[in-house]
Amino acid sequence: MVRKIDWDNQIGHRLRLRDLQIFMAVARHGSMNKAARELRLSQPAVSGIITALEHAIGEQLLDRNNQGVEPTRYGHALLERSIVVFDELRQGIRDIEHLADPTFGEVRIGCVDSIASTMLPRVIETFAERYPQVVFHVDRVTTTDADLMKLRGRGLDLVLIRYFPPFAPDNDDLAIETLFEDYLVAVCGRRSRFASQSRIGLEDLAQERWILTPDTANRFILTDAFRRAGLDPPKVFLVSFSVELRTRLVATGRYIAAFARSVVQPETERKLKILPIAFPPRQWPIVLVTLKRRTLNPIAQHFIDHLRGCMKTLPTELGLRQPTESVRSKR
């Protein structure tokens, strides 16, 4: 039989937000001493509060050992909900700030480098013209579940990544909305001997030195295209997420690279040439990721609306395909 916890007597009149804050700090550091130093409390005071919290709930929240502490399954359950409690409180304060000044607030964005270096600046700049007091925080992320933990921990309002089924994150708790479809292109520098050729096959590039990203969709699609053509994988010269580094090296004319089409924007095309190679079609959209059942602060929601508007025009400017229904939205 499931044990019932008396909310009024055990929790409602005893639990304080400060208790949860201390518990979260201990769980984060894995140490009562470290949490005490962060909170400027004594270690006995922290230990006493945790013990009182466990007594009120009636379950052990932390396992103690010589290396420190670690949440039990009961501790993990409380920790997960505590994060939501403090996030909702922060959002409530931001809502109040927005009511007092609707042009004020913060937007926290997680973004892959290829978007942060190309499309995101224009979106932020045009939004800032309307909301000049907004402060932006941008973290570089990839498409892995590990990099989405900050979104799940309420440290980010939204994430912009490329969605590719073999590397897609677990999305049970995520709202994933396609902004537009992207696709892979091969590029060379304007000084490359390939820049003036109108007909090129993958076999012509098989012995070239390639610049790729780590094991992501970019590399997967390229390697698969070589395999389908009966060729060995391309020779890799450099592996990096940095768009600037890849662009600078390819511009020398000595290397070939595979880029997402949206990365090769007009200013980039002055240095790079898109080669006439058609890769097998793959779903590879740029997507907006948010947490399901989470209410964003008003200014973050305004930014998302602005982002959607900007992304509607970008595919036309770059000649990109529009989203397909199969991946348009996963809410």
- pLDDT grade, residue 1 (50/70/90)? very low
Name the burial class of residue 8, with classes exposed (0-12), middle (13-18) and buried (19+) by CB atoms within 10 angstroms of its CB: exposed
Q: Are residues 268 and 307 both part of a single domain?
A: no
Q: Are residues 120 and 172 both part of a single domain?
A: yes
| Residue that finishes a domain, picked among 83, 109, 130 | 83
Q: Are residues 161 and 288 both part of a single domain?
A: yes
| Residue that finishes a domain, picked among 230, 256, 274 | 274
202 within a domain of the structure (yes/no): yes
Number of domains in the chain: 3
Q: What pLDDT does 166 receive?
A: 66
- Tell me: the pLDDT tens digits for 243-279? 999 999 999 999 999 999 989 988 888 899 999 998 8
| Residue that finishes a domain, picked among 51, 83, 115 | 83
The tokens for 3 are 């044990």
Q: Are residues 172 and 297 both part of a single domain?
A: yes
The average confidence (pLDDT) of the chain is: 85
CATH number assigned to the domain comprising residue 60: 1.10.10.10
240 within a domain of the structure (yes/no): yes
Q: Are residues 168 and 220 both part of a single domain?
A: no
Q: Are residues 167 and 294 both part of a single domain?
A: yes
Q: Are residues 156 and 298 both part of a single domain?
A: yes
136 within a domain of the structure (yes/no): yes
- For residue 28, give the nearest of 173, 159, 172, 155 by alpha carbon: 155
| Segment among 5-9, 83-87, 142-146, 228-232 with least mean pLDDT | 5-9
Q: What pLDDT does 296 receive?
A: 87
pTM score above 0.75: no
316 within a domain of the structure (yes/no): yes
C-beta atoms surrounding 28 within 10 Å: 13
CATH number assigned to the domain comprising residue 268: 3.40.190.10
Q: Are residues 250 and 197 both part of a single domain?
A: yes
- Tell me: the pLDDT tens digits for 93-138? 877 777 667 677 899 999 999 899 888 999 999 999 999 989 999 9
- pLDDT grade, residue 67 (50/70/90)? confident
279 within a domain of the structure (yes/no): no
Q: What pLDDT does 102 receive?
A: 65
Cα four-point dihedral sign 110, 115, 118, 120: negative
Average pLDDT score over residue span 212-231: 89
- Phi/psi region, residue 168 (left: phi>0; alpha: psi -120 to 50; beta: rest), is beta
Average pLDDT score over residue span 287-316: 89
Q: What pLDDT does 115 receive?
A: 92
Domain residues for the domain of 295 are 101-181+284-330
Q: Are residues 137 and 264 both part of a single domain?
A: no
Q: Give the residue, 315 or 259, on which the prediction is more confident.
A: 259
Average pLDDT score over residue span 16-28: 89
- pLDDT grade, residue 281 (50/70/90)? confident
1 within a domain of the structure (yes/no): no
In the chain, what percentage of residues exceed pLDDT 70? 87
Determine which helix (DSSP H) or strand (DSSP E) holds 36, and give its type and residue range.
Answer: helix 32-39
247 within a domain of the structure (yes/no): yes
Q: Are residues 213 and 264 both part of a single domain?
A: yes
Q: Are residues 42 and 113 both part of a single domain?
A: no
- pLDDT grade, residue 324 (50/70/90)? very low
What single-letter DSSP state applies at residue 77?
A: H
- Tell me: the pLDDT tens digits for 74-88? 999 889 888 888 888
Q: Are residues 169 and 44 both part of a single domain?
A: no
In the chain, what percentage of residues exceed pLDDT 90? 45
203 within a domain of the structure (yes/no): yes
Q: Which amino acid is at 2?
A: V
